[in-house]
Amino acid sequence: MTDIFSPFSSSALSSLPNPQRPVRYTRADGIPETEEDSAGQRPPVRDYLSINHIPSQVRVPKKIATPVRVEGKVWFANERTWIAWLNISVLIGTLALALFNASKDQIARNFAYVYALISVGVMIYGYSVYQIRITKIRKRDPGHFDMIIGPVIVSALLFFAIAANFMIRVRELREKNIPIPGTDVYFYLLSIIAPAT
Q: Stretch 40-52: mean pLDDT, rounded?
A: 60
Bridge partner residues of 46 (DSSP): 57
Choose between 19 and 141: higher pLDDT: 141
Residues 77 and 102 in one domain: yes
Does 184 map to a domain?
no
In the predicted structure, residue 49 carries a pLDDT above the cut 80: no
Per-residue model confidence as pLDDT tens digits over 160-189: 999 998 888 888 878 888 777 777 777 788
Residues 23 and 52 in one domain: yes
Residues 167 and 81 in one domain: yes
In the predicted structure, residue 197 carries a pLDDT above the cut 60: no
Residues 121 and 49 in one domain: no
Does 90 map to a domain?
yes
Please give the residue range of the domain that contains residue 121. 73-177
Does 196 map to a domain?
no
Does 59 map to a domain?
yes
Per-residue model confidence as pLDDT tens digits over 99-144: 999 988 898 899 999 999 999 999 999 999 999 999 988 888 777 8
Inter-residue contact 52 to 61 (CB < 8 Å): no
Residues 106 and 144 in one domain: yes
- The reported pTM is 0.57
Inter-residue contact 161 to 111 (CB < 8 Å): yes
Give burial (CB, 10 Å; 0-12/13-18/19+) of 89. buried
Q: Which of 60, 27, 28 is nearest to 46 (CA)?
A: 60
Residues 113 and 98 in one domain: yes
Residues 56 and 131 in one domain: no
> What total number of domains does the chain contain?
2
